[in-house]
Each structure stands twice: as structure tokens, then as C-alpha cells.
Structure 1
Amino acid sequence: MSIWTELGPITHRVEYLDANGVRTRTLRAGDPEAQAVVFLHGTSGHLEAFARNIAAHAAYDLHAIDMLGHGYTGRPDRPYEIADYTGHLLDYLDAAGVERAHIVGESLGGWVGARTAIEHPERVISLQLLCAGGTVADPGVMERIRTSTRQAVTSDDIGLTRKRLRLLMADDRDATEELVEIRHAVYHQPGFVANVDNLLSLQDMERRRRNLLRPEHLARITRPTLIVWGRQNPFGDVPEAEAMHRAVPGSRLELLDECGHWPQHEQAARYNAISLAFLEGAAG
């Protein structure tokens, strides 16, 4: 199964929007008259992380974006903190004419989505946190992310990109060769190597700590919230998800077996069903 065959059943387009001066790559699909759903990927990721989810969600106005400094989106030369990512997301929503959206965030994307729901609840209809980051500062995990990403970006060896993607998955087969080639091409764009430390800046302990989502922050989330977690998540054990669930009022927690850090990809059929049921309830 290819990304193209995943997207083939529906009309879609990949385009670039000017989000307050940042050229932003976005995949658009679905019903432009429906409520918007915005998909946000993780650290060093790109919109293809949601290829297995787009067609299933086609009843909505869909936006999968490359976040600030990631994928093929513009790369301002500064270390990115969560305020930078949330600002870029809001600028994108303004550029796309989206007043309010369901936010689906994986890893870093969940961190950004949660902060947006806390500080700008008027722009958020509902929130999905897929193996979301931002609630802990684990030096071992941070070093694994930093080292594996920098190795893959600074070397032409596609095997290091393959290794970086497999780190995310419970089953190596989910790191398809198509995804490996896409990510290798992203990592080796002109200028990406020079920018890699900017997009890894939250792996610096001092910077991460000042951006953390603490329980008192999560308690301010008022929008319907779904937390989805893989039981084999290499970047956060189940107690981390359970703590998030306790902190976010009225949230729902789904734990997926045989799943690592990309539940929307590794367990796409199961995730899509859970997400669509949640969105239907939240949309009302």
C-alpha cells in the first residue's frame, strides 16, 4: 500500500500558503464546507505521517501541514519553542480562513495542540493528543531523539533515516520504504542540515522545562479531549498517558496494543474509528 493509493479515493491537493511570511506546505482534502480538522506531526516529521487517515476523515475540511521549520515549510533561523509553533499554527489558520478547528496532534504536534487549546480555546473545537509530548523532560528520551535525528540529517546514509523511522514503530514494517525515502528527501534539502538544531531545540533541558505542560496547565483545557497512546511507545510509558488523562478534565484515554509512537499510522483502522466517533460527538 502506497501513500498515493491511500489518498487515491478522494480529491486532494498539496499547496503552499503564506502564514504571516512563512511559506507553509499543506495537504488539503475533504469537504470545505464542513468543520476543519488540522493534523500536526511530531519532531522532525512532515504531513505524510497522516496519509493513512486522510481518506477516512474526508467528511471534514482537512488540513495536514508541515509545521514551522519542518518538512517543506519555511525555516526561520531561530530555536523553536512552543510559542513559535502555536503562533505559526494560528497564522496558518488565519491564512486558510479557518476560524475554529479540531486539532489532531501527534508527539510534538500534540504539545502544540494542547498549548493552543489552553491559550486560544476560541480557535479549538476539540483536541486529540496522540502520544503527545511536553509533559515530562526525560534526559534519555531527549538524547535519543536528538542523536538519532542529527545522525540521519547529517549523513547521506539512508539507513540512518530508516533507523530513525523504525525507532517510532512497534513493528519495523510500518516504517515503509516509501516513508523512508520521503523523510530522507526532507532531511537532505538545502538548508535543512543548518536548521536541524533549531527544530531540535526542545531537546535542550533548560528550554524544554520552561515549555512543559504541567498539570495545572492541562487542567485549563476546556475542549473535548481524546488521548491515544501506544503501549509500546518508545518515548513515553503508559503512566505518562494516564497522568495526562487525569489532568485534562473530562478527557478520554485509549491505549492501543502493538503500537509505538505513531498510533494514527501503525493502527490506522482502529485509530480512524476511534477518531471519527470522537469527532462526531465533539462536533455537536
Structure 2
Amino acid sequence: MTIWTELAGLGFEVSMVDAGGVPTRSLRAGRGEPLVFLHGTSGHLEAFTRNLVPHAAHYACHAIDMLGHGYTGKPDYRYEIPRYVEHLVAYLDAVGIDRVHLAGESLGGWVAGWLAIEAPERVASLQLIAAGGTVANPAVMARIKDSTTRAVTTDDVELTRQRLRLLMHDPANATEELVAVRHRIYHQPDFVANLPNLLCLQELEIRNRNLLTPERLARISAPTMVVWGQQNPFGEVPEAQRMAATIPGARLELLPECGHWPQHEQHERYNALSLEFLAKYSAG
């Protein structure tokens, strides 16, 4: 299966959107209420190619390269969570979205959760997919920082392959096409130069001041579903359980044989759960 077969039959557009002065790569497909997919640290919109066809049948889907990621602009400052949120809001404003369903994976969930806290009127529903930001685990942070740095600063495709396989329970899900896409992104000169800004949340002091603390999570009022792989290498199941227990009314879905990309590794199960969840909180 390739990205092209995953998107087969789907009418979509990939373009650059001016989001507050930051050129932002965006894949858009479908019609209906808006749904924005947000990827994780050092990721890109291709993380959601297995989700777009079923979701675009019911929603106006947007998958974007987040601030400093993929082919989106890379301004020279530290990418702390409020910066990501500022960029996301600028994107929503640029494409005319007042209220949105958000599905954020890892870093994307962290950003989506922060927006739901700071601007609840903008968020119709919230999916936290292996979301980061509730803990500061130095071992995990070092693994993310070191593996990404080696993959970006060394032109050995095997290091990119290893970095992508870190996300998966089954290494076969880190397809060679995804490896090639990520390797090309990683070796853009501006991506290499910008890497310290992108990885700043793996520094303990910076991460601690950006955490989704229990007090913050308790302020989320949007309908929320937490989705977690039972073999998530960057966070064990109790982390997801605490997150769901802290967010008022949140629902928790644990997916077996699944790592840090539930929407990709267990896409059939995830897509069904997501569409059922979204249907409950959509106006139509």
C-alpha cells in the first residue's frame, strides 16, 4: 500500500496557505464541518494518509505541516506550545474556520489540547491521539532528541528509517515510501538549520513550563476522546488513563498491537472510532 493507493479516488488539493505570514503546507479534501489533523514532533501531514478518505466523506478535512515542520515555514524562534497554537489559529483564520474538530497526534494533541483550553469557543471536539505534553520523562525526551538529531544531521537513510520505526509496534508500518518522504524533509537545509528550535520541548526547563498539567487538563470543556496504543514507546497506558480521567467526560480508547501512531497502524479501528465519536458532536 502506498500513499497514492491510500488516497485513491479522493479529490484533494495540496497548497501553501499564508498563516499569519508563515507559508503552511495544507492538504484539503471533503466537505462539511471542518476537521484538522495535526502530526507529531518532526512529523508531516503524510501521517494521516490512511485516514483522509473515510473522513473526507463526511468532513472538510485539513492535514497540515505544523509550524517549522515538513514544508511549512521555519521562523527562527523556539517552538514552544503557544507558538504552535498561534500558528494553528492563524491557519484557521486564513481558511475561514471559526470552530473546528481537532485530531492531534503526539505533539499535535498537545497543541490541540492547549487551544481547547485557551479558546474553547474554537474547538467543537478534541481527539488526543497518543498526545504528548502531560509528563516530562527525561529518558523519552532524550530518545526523541537524539534519534531525530542523528537522522537529520547524517545523510544515512537508515537513521531516518530507525527514527520512523520508533513510532511503530510493527516496523512494517514504517513503509519505505514514508521513510523516503521523511528523509527528504529532514535534509532540507532550512530544516537542518532549524532543528534546535523544533526540538526545544525536549529540554526539561522548556518542557516543564509548557506542560498540560492536571489543572490545565481539567479546564478542557470540548468533548474529548483519548486514543492510545498499548505498546506506545513514548508513554505507557497509565499516562493515557490519567489524561482521560482528568479531562471532564473524556473517553479512552486503548488499541492493542499499536505504538505511537494509532491513526496509521490501526487505521481501520481508529477511523471507525473517530467517525463514531465525531458524529455525536457534529451539527449535521
Normalised to the residue count of structure 2, the TM-score between the two structures is 0.99
Q: Which structure 2 residues correspond to residues 207-218 of structure 1 after superposition, within 5 A?
A: 207-218=206-217
Secondary structure of the residue aligned to 1:28 is: strand
2:41 — aligned with what? Answer: 43
Q: Which residue of 1 aligns with 2:13?
A: 13
Alpha-carbon offset, residue 272 of structure 1: 0.1
- 2: CA distance, partners of 1:192 / 1:126: 32
CA RMSD of aligned residues (A): 0.5
The residue type paired with residue 75 of structure 2 is P
1:158-173 equivalent positions in 2, closer than 5 A: 158-173=157-172
Q: Percent identity?
A: 65
Unmatched segments (≥5 aa) in structure 1: none
Structure 2 distance, partners of 1:53, 1:107, is: 16
Q: Is 1:156 the counterpart of 2:135 in the alignment?
A: no
Whether 1:270 and 2:279 are equivalent positions in the alignment is no
Deviation >3 Å, runs of 4+:
none
Partner of 1:90: 89
Report the alpha carbon displacement of residue 190 of structure 1 after superposing the two structures with TM.
1.9
Q: How do residues 120-159 of structure 1 correspond to structure 2 at under 5 angstroms?
A: 120-159=119-158
SS of 1:105's partner is strand
| Cα drift, residue 283 of structure 1 | 1.0
Unaligned ranges ≥5, structure 2: none
Task: Report the Cα distance in structure 2 between the residues aligned to 1:50 and 1:257, rounded to whole angstroms.
Answer: 19
Q: Find 2:55's aligned residue among 41, 54, 57.
A: 57
Aligned residue number for residue 68 of structure 2? 69
Tell me the CA shift for residue 9 of structure 1: 1.4
CA–CA distance in structure 1, aligned partners of residues 8 and 120 of structure 2: 34
What letter corresponds to residue 5 of structure 1 in structure 2?
T
Q: 1:90: Cα distance to partner?
A: 0.1
Q: 2: CA distance between counterparts of 1:29 and 1:14? A: 9
Q: Deviation digits for residues 131-170 of structure 1, max 9, x if unmatched?
A: 0000000000000000000000000000000000000000
Structure-1 residue corresponding to 2:220: 221
SS in 2 for 1:99: coil
Distance in 1 (CA, whole Å) between partners of 2:9 and 2:215 is 43
CA separation in 2, counterparts of 1:39 and 1:139? 27
- The alignment status of 1:28 with 2:37, answered yes or no, reads no
Partner of 1:106: 105
Q: How many residues align?
A: 282
Q: Structure 1: which amino acid aligns with 2:42? A: S
Q: Secondary structure at the match of 1:128?
A: strand
Compute the displacement of 1:3 (Å): 0.5
In structure 2, what is the equivalent of residue 186 of structure 1? 185
Deviation at 1:85, TM superposition (A): 0.2
What amino acid does structure 2 have at the position aligned with 1:283? S
Cα drift, residue 7 of structure 1 = 0.8
Letter in 2 for 1:121: P
